[in-house]
Structure 1
Amino acid sequence: MGRLEGKTVFITGASAGIGEASAREFAKEGSNLILTARRLDRLKGLKEELEKKYPSITVTAVELDVREKKQIDAVIASVPPVDILLNNAGMVLGVEHLQDVEEDEFDQMIATNIKGLVFLTKAVLPSMKERQTGHIINLGSIAGKQAYPGGSIYCATKHAVEAITGSLRHELVDTPIRVSAICPGLVNTEFSTVRFRGDKQKADNVYAGLQPLVAQDIAEIIVFTAGRPPHVNIADMLIFPTNQASATNVARNN
């Protein structure tokens, strides 16, 4: 029996990208899944696929906007106790310099990347503490370690994730609950398409001339992190494609 078999894994942003890939990887390990996102139709398709492929697991698909605390609290109250929380939902809008960032986009990034992560963590922690078990895995970013032009608000949100993750690890050090940050560099998902407000050409240019990471790469690392023995906590992991050395230092072939 593997360490993740039968564990209940709660994944936000599970309808695409790293969240969807992580769901597939946890399913391989025999974990039961609670998949959440705003796009319920995609979640239902993923649920059907995984339950057919892995009949021994239970998959629950729930529509959830992590910006809404009442929704979070209602969902957590309606599902089984969570063993592993993957705070994956996150987004970025635009590459404008600070003076040109629109207030509504500022609010969306703050609410999704920071508030949603905090609300969910607060919602699952009481049960984890009561049961003396649990693992919180936060999806960070190189943007949480290095700022760059055109990323002021997004970088601020990911720096906040870095700080929240570190503080929480200190706060839970006298418990068996583990806290981890997984911080990717360039990953080719819908992320850049959202950033450029649907402009696929601009999004593709971000990854031109190099082999970026893909969602599967990060999902495998997330599941590896979750599957370590109880006395092992991978606190912080930074993952780059081979031709990336920092947030802005990337070698391209074109």
Structure 2
Amino acid sequence: MSRDNFDMTTKETLAKRVGFRCSNPNCRKLTSGPQIDSAGSINIGVAAHISAASLGGPRYDSQLTSEERKSIDNGIWLCQNCAKLIDNDSVLYSSDILLEWKHLSEKAALLEIQNNGVINLVDDREIIKFFAQCFDRPAFQDPFDQEGSMENFDKAIEDTITAINTGALRARDGGVLQKSKGKAYLSNPLWRRKMDAIGDLLRALRERYELAVRTNDIHLGSTSDERQFYCINDRQLGAWFDLTRAEILKIFSEICGEAGISSEFQFPRHRRFWRDR
């Protein structure tokens, strides 16, 4: 069966248009870097098809011509993990979702270039205030072994990553609670780098959680009255989650201080009751 593959020029252009970063707004991982060999480089990026390159593939659209399938309009640049992710669940990761990812990532890459060297403190402070609302939630306040629901904890971290990258803070039902701008709009390069570091730590939280569930270091049970029964089989795991969240809030508090924004972010904030995330 023939495949409508991208040519090298299309692949390179897709990568360059997003600054060689994964287009998934929950990832944004850099996909290219140096090898030890001074003449070599490493690439973990993939030019993925939005509509499959051949019949039977994910999101295949029979209405497209062969030329349209292998055109740049049908491509999206992703890291290898996200490329596999979107093809494993083509219903959840629809063509419309992938086109939105592509648009957001290209816009973020352009903003990083446009904002280079130009600092707008007023706009930056408003974005930081929005981020402060994203962190003002129990997922960044309660010790790990006092979580009311592990699944809600994971979803809260995911929502925070999305909010920082896209500027849209969403409720559990998907509705937008607050709307601002993502971290790519920050004109202060220092704050942008610190928010990038926070984004890396947030992704590490999600990846470690997913690994813990797969290896049964965290055993998930049933849910009753918005409380989920669970068992943490690795006691050091909770300490790692708490230290990582403390580091996130430490970095963010530094940004708030530099921006002249009053903040009381610290971890943990002990509570005597369970709250919706």
Range class of TM-score, shorter chain: under 0.3
Q: TM-score, normalised by structure 2?
A: 0.26
Q: Which has the larger radius of gyration?
A: 2
More helix by share: 2
Task: Answer 1 or 2: higher relative contact order, Cα 8 Å, separation at least 6.
Answer: 1
